[in-house]
Amino acid sequence: MIRVRFAPSPTGFLHIGGVRTVLFNFLYARSQNGKFLLRLEDTDRERSRQEFEDDILSSLAWLGLDSDEPVIRQSSRLSRYQEIAKELVEKGLAYEENSGGRLGIRFKMPKRDAVFHDLVHGEVRFDASLFDDLVILKSDGFPTYHLACVVDDHEMEISHVIRGDDHLSNTPRQILLFEALGWKPPKYAHLPLIFGVDGTPLSKRHGAVATKSYREEGFLPEALLNYLALLGWGPENNQEFFSLPDLAKKFSLKRITKSNARFNREKLEWLNTEHIKKLAETDYLSQITAFHQDLAQKLGAQKWKRLSLLYRSRIKTFQDLLTQAGYCFSELDPYEPSMQDLFVQNKVLKRHLEAWHENAQELADFEDASKVEAFTREAAQGWGIEAKDLIHPLRFALTGKTVSPGLFDLMSVLGKETCIKRVKKFLGG
């Protein structure tokens, strides 16, 4: 039975690199009909916090990467680690040392090479004679990372440890602990790290690194997973768009690259746009409404639905709707002066816009976009001008933008009163 685990420490918010690690573990388990497990390594009493644990659990739930068995917390297993450490002392493989009047325990590091086969890097060799003896139990009775990790991997029957390259140097120490305890170590696969586009380790200067930030921006979890799967792994063809089940079918440790991956936000945004387009309409409306509850309530169900569908193919994230269509929820900021002057100082165009403003008030309402469009086009034809010569200044007057979705559909969302008022303001009234 293939059994893998994700073992974060609740000492910070779930990092986007951590999500790539948990995803590869999850995909490998699913591709092999195995089990994916979650273990919280919460023995760092100074830095572990409940808010970080809550963030890890809620982020994994949002991503749909659920553990197949109950979550293991190392803080509930202290007596077991202490028992194993004392067993090593009794075997002469570790020794006690006094620290401030209390005893800690160090593992005697064997003076030989530690060799293992990594499923990504091939044979890896470390000279353990260069390592200091390893603290495995601190004087406060808490285990160090290495001891707790080894004991848990053994007792959880972990078959494969899939983790980042930053753990590569930890592996020989852990293998030597496995051997000292007479246990068979798992197989190891160390993943290339995720760097920024400038080739340096991913950090805040490259943008958001906490998973919750992408959730708050309105990225779809399936898009985020799709993108992260392509960082350090690739399918046999050039396919880029995947659902989670598709990834599980195609995933293989053999196709993990050795070189570090580079995080490109533009590529992530493109994939998110594609995933938004692929959603069933009911799913899209349900999700974007849940994300923008206050805005949806402010606009009303029907107008909100119209606006959301108008922008569906244009937004990169759900938050992007507010960026692009903010004019639907608040008054326009002052118009860009040069653009306003371009339209208003053209006396002929201004006269036509003033006539449209006066005549449009005769319409009962703007609910039917086709009626507003017919009225506008007939007016332009009657004045001997092209419809675009009326539509362009109207768009800018109503949205403050030169590009937007269908103008008349937007006018039906804004409503007659708002449209009339904004055109008047645009004309200097």
What is the spatial distance between Cα 56 and Cα 413, in angstroms, rounded to a whole number? 39
CA distances from residue 55 to 50, 74, 377 in whole angstroms, order as listed: 9, 18, 54
DSSP 305-363: HHHHHHTTTT-SSSTHHHHHSGGGTSPPPPP-HHHHHHHHT-HHHHHHHHHHHHHHTTS
Q: Which of 29, 6, 16, 14 is nearest to 59 (CA)?
A: 14
**Contact indicator for 200, 227 with CB cutoff of 8 Å:** no
pTM score, two decimals? 0.91
- Please give the tally of structural domains in the chain: 3
What residues have CB less than 8 Å from 43, skipping those under 6 apart? 74, 75, 78, 142, 143, 145, 148
Q: Are residues 177 and 223 in the same domain?
A: no
**Contact indicator for 394, 414 with CB cutoff of 8 Å:** no
Strands 122-127 and 113-118, sheet pairing = antiparallel
CA distances from residue 402 to 31, 357, 397, 408 in whole angstroms, order as listed: 49, 19, 9, 14
Domain that holds residue 123: 3-193
Is residue 198 one of the residues assigned to a domain?
A: no
What residues have CB less than 8 Å from 410, skipping those under 6 apart? 307, 310, 328, 398, 399, 404
What per-residue confidence (pLDDT) applies to 207?
A: 60
What is the spatial distance between Cα 318 and Cα 239, in angstroms, rounded to a whole number? 25
Domain boundary among 159, 193, 227: 193
CATH of the domain at 209: 1.10.1160.10
CATH of the domain at 420: 1.10.10.350
Q: Which residue reads 């990504």 in tokens?
A: 120
What per-residue confidence (pLDDT) applies to 167?
A: 95
Is residue 328 one of the residues assigned to a domain?
A: no
Q: Are residues 53 and 178 in the same domain?
A: yes
Domain boundary among 193, 224, 258: 193
Q: Are residues 380 and 422 in the same domain?
A: yes
Is residue 199 one of the residues assigned to a domain?
A: no
What per-residue confidence (pLDDT) applies to 339?
A: 78
Q: DSSP class of residue 74?
A: G
Domain boundary among 171, 193, 215: 193
What per-residue confidence (pLDDT) applies to 206?
A: 59
DSSP 228-259: HHTSSB--SS------HHHHHHH--GGGB-SS
Long-range CB contact pairs, 194-200, < 8 A, 24+:
194/16, 194/17, 194/20, 194/231, 194/232, 194/260, 194/261, 194/262, 194/263, 195/260, 195/261, 195/262, 195/263, 196/262, 196/263, 197/262, 197/263, 197/264, 199/260, 199/262
3-state DSSP helix/strand/coil percent for the chain, to nearest 5? 50, 15, 35
Q: DSSP class of residue 371?
A: H
Per-residue pLDDT of the chain (429 residues; tens, 9 = 90+): 999 999 999 999 999 999 999 999 999 999 999 999 999 999 988 899 999 999 999 999 999 999 999 999 999 999 999 999 999 999 999 999 987 778 899 999 999 999 999 999 999 999 999 999 999 999 999 999 999 999 999 999 999 999 999 999 999 999 999 999 999 999 999 999 999 888 887 766 656 689 999 999 999 999 999 999 999 998 888 899 999 999 999 999 999 999 999 999 999 999 999 999 999 999 999 999 999 999 999 999 999 999 999 999 999 999 999 999 999 999 888 888 887 777 777 888 889 999 999 999 999 999 999 999 999 999 999 999 999 999 999 999 999 998 999 999 999 999 999 999 999 998 886
Q: Are residues 30 and 134 in the same domain?
A: yes
Is residue 304 one of the residues assigned to a domain?
A: yes
